[in-house]
């Protein structure tokens, strides 16, 4: 009889240990304060898989002016590689003539532009030239100027140069799917159907600066769960079945961190750029 009691006690202890291990495993991915655990320190290097965006493409440089052009920025001169000049010309024309959505798509500029024509379009959109990610290559970025209410902090187009010094499009924003610069020289993509689904994806840039590398994601998917719609995204497929559910408090807190990490680049307004004739 005593032996049976001891056996029952032993089984109960083992069962309790297993339950506690499962509970501990569930909370391993959470901080003590309920925040989603992840590398929010963007200076920290993490292991990622290089993911080239489907819309990445070489720029059409058939009409390219090969000479670099210079602009005055305050008291300094900014040298812009010739491979980017045709892109600048296109954006200047698109803003000046207020191209339609279809015309933007046909000419390879972001079709977010038609939503940015309020007031003086050439003042609403600008460009940035420099080495964004520190890989030694001069990048060219088109974005929304600070102070304009639509698509705040948005990067409309991001170009770098390939090994042949040709312009290479790393990513381009679209309506309901736009990118922003993030502290630590990273990129955030925000996707929304303006109804029940929003996704925030954080990226780095790979070693040659020609592809985005997924770091972390956050989903608010009310289609999947109306009352508690927050998920830590483990990938970019938007399928919450593959992701980790988090509390409303943790999700909202993380969203604020993502949005507050966005930075405004010092864009030069297109009104200050005079189109350069092609050769």
The residue ranges of every structural domain in the chain are 1-30, 38-272
Q: Which tokens belong to 183?
A: 């502290």
* pLDDT for position 4: 61
Q: Which tokens belong to 277?
A: 């004739």
DSSP structure class, residue 195: S
Within 10 angstroms of residue 262's Cβ, the number of other Cβ atoms is 16
The SS3 assignment for 189 reads: strand
The SS3 assignment for 73 reads: strand
Q: How far apart are CA 85 and CA 64, in angstroms?
A: 7
Q: How far apart are CA 261 and CA 192, in angstroms?
A: 19
Of the candidates 215, 200, 186, the residue with the CA atom closest to the CA atom of residue 253: 200
Reported pTM? 0.74
Q: Which tokens belong to 198?
A: 């929003």
Of the candidates 243, 195, 193, 192, the residue with the CA atom closest to the CA atom of residue 217: 243
* pLDDT for position 66: 43
Q: How far apart are CA 263 and CA 181, in angstroms?
A: 6
- Phi/psi of residue 267, each to 5°? -75, 145
pLDDT, averaged per 10 consecutive residues of the chain (279 residues), comes to 57 55 36 30 28 40 48 68 95 98 97 96 96 94 89 95 95 96 93 92 93 95 94 90 94 93 94 80
102: burial class by Cβ within 10 Å (0-12, 13-18, 19+)? Answer: exposed
């Amino acid at each position: 009889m005593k032996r049976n009691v001891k056996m029952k006690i032993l089984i109960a202890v083992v069962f309790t240990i297993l339950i506690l291990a499962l509970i501990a495993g569930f909370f391993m991915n959470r901080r003590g304060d309920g925040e989603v655990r992840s590398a929010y320190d963007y200076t920290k290097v993490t292991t990622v898989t290089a993911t080239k965006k489907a819309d990445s493409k070489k720029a059409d440089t058939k009409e390219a002016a090969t000479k670099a052009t210079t602009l005055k920025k305050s008291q300094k001169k900014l040298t812009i590689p010739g491979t980017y000049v045709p892109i600048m010309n296109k954006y200047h024309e698109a803003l000046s003539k207020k191209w339609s959505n279809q015309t933007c798509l046909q000419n390879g500029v972001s079709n977010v532009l038609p939503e940015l024509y309020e007031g003086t379009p050439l003042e609403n959109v600008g460009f940035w030239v420099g080495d964004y990610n520190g890989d030694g290559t001069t990048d060219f970025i088109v974005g929304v100027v600070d102070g304009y209410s639509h698509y705040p902090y948005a990067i409309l187009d991001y170009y770098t140069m390939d090994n042949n010094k040709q312009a290479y499009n790393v990513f381009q924003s679209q309506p309901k799917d736009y990118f922003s610069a993030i502290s630590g020289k990273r990129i955030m993509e925000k996707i929304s159907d303006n109804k029940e689904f929003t996704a925030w994806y954080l990226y780095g840039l790979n070693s040659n600066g020609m592809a985005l590398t997924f770091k972390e994601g956050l989903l608010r998917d009310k289609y999947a769960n109306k009352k508690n719609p927050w998920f830590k995204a483990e990938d970019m497929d938007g399928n919450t079945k593959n992701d980790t559910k988090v509390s409303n408090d943790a999700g909202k807190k993380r969203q604020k961190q993502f949005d507050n990490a966005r930075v405004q680049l010092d864009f030069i307004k297109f009104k200050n750029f005079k189109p350069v004739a092609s050769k």
